[in-house]
Amino acid sequence: MKQVLLLFLAVLSFSLNAQVVVLHPVNIPSDQVQKFINVETNYSVKIAQEAVNNGDLAWWGLMQAFNAVEGEYNYMWVNVYKDIDAAVSPKSNWWNNSESVVGVKPEILLDGVSGAKADRRYFYQMRQQIDSGEPANFVVFNFATPDNAAKVLESNEKYVIPHFKKKMKSSGMKGWGAGTKIAPQGNEYSSFMTFDGFDTMSNLMKHLSGDGEAVKGFDWTKLEPMEFNSKYIFEVISSTSN
């Protein structure tokens, strides 16, 4: 019972004031990509930056999926809020301020981009994070449904985080984090997510192949067993600054 209580308290400490990451994939037809990128890099990022400056948003980024084929979700908006309250506040819909920030009404912001199909939004509460203080240019999102998320977080804290902190500079790793799903939930949805951010695609690919500097010398047998069911690579196209 004592071990269970200590484990619960450890997980609880991660959840207090934890950031909420909202992943929102979208499919943009190939003949509309240039229009879409123009809107996002010249308008959306400015509106998002205003929300960051006002404290309504912690970070925003537009990411392009690597190796996507026609019809798949090829871009993804990533919104980071300071906590759950901020993520569900009316102010979380920061794009509604487009007219006051960039002089364009929200309903016509993407009016010139036809055929865009957005997926639902996926809410994750970040439980663990390490940051180099420098932005990542490429990110891999890893999704899983572990049998015991609390034990995974515990082993991350004991083994993964100290190891990655030592290897960040030499590996090109710019950030790492682990989060648990808030919504949607169900058998068809992964309940757990980690991300690895890198400076170059080369360093990210080496990391995934098992040859990267970040994973050298790591004893994977120490970790709580968990099998990732999918991994997606993205390039950061545009983002806010802190």
pLDDT in tens, 70-102: 999 999 999 999 999 999 999 999 999 999 999
Same domain for 81 and 39: yes
For residue 9, the model assigns a pLDDT of: 38
Do residues 236 and 136 make contact, with C-beta atoms less than 8 angstroms apart? yes
Same domain for 226 and 205: yes
For residue 92, the model assigns a pLDDT of: 96
Same domain for 55 and 35: yes
Same domain for 186 and 156: yes
Domain that holds residue 156: 122-239
Span 143-179, pLDDT tens digits: 999 999 999 999 999 999 999 999 999 999 999 999 9
For residue 242, the model assigns a pLDDT of: 77
Total domains in the fold of the chain? 2
* 12, part of any domain: no
* 7, part of any domain: no
Same domain for 208 and 102: no
Q: How far is CA 232 from CA 29, 71, 75, 207, 224, in A?
A: 19, 16, 11, 13, 22
Same domain for 224 and 137: yes
Same domain for 91 and 27: yes
Do residues 187 and 162 make contact, with C-beta atoms less than 8 angstroms apart? no
Dist. CA 50–CA 27, nearest whole Å: 26
Q: Is the pTM of this model over 0.85?
A: yes
CATH of residue 176:
3.30.70.100
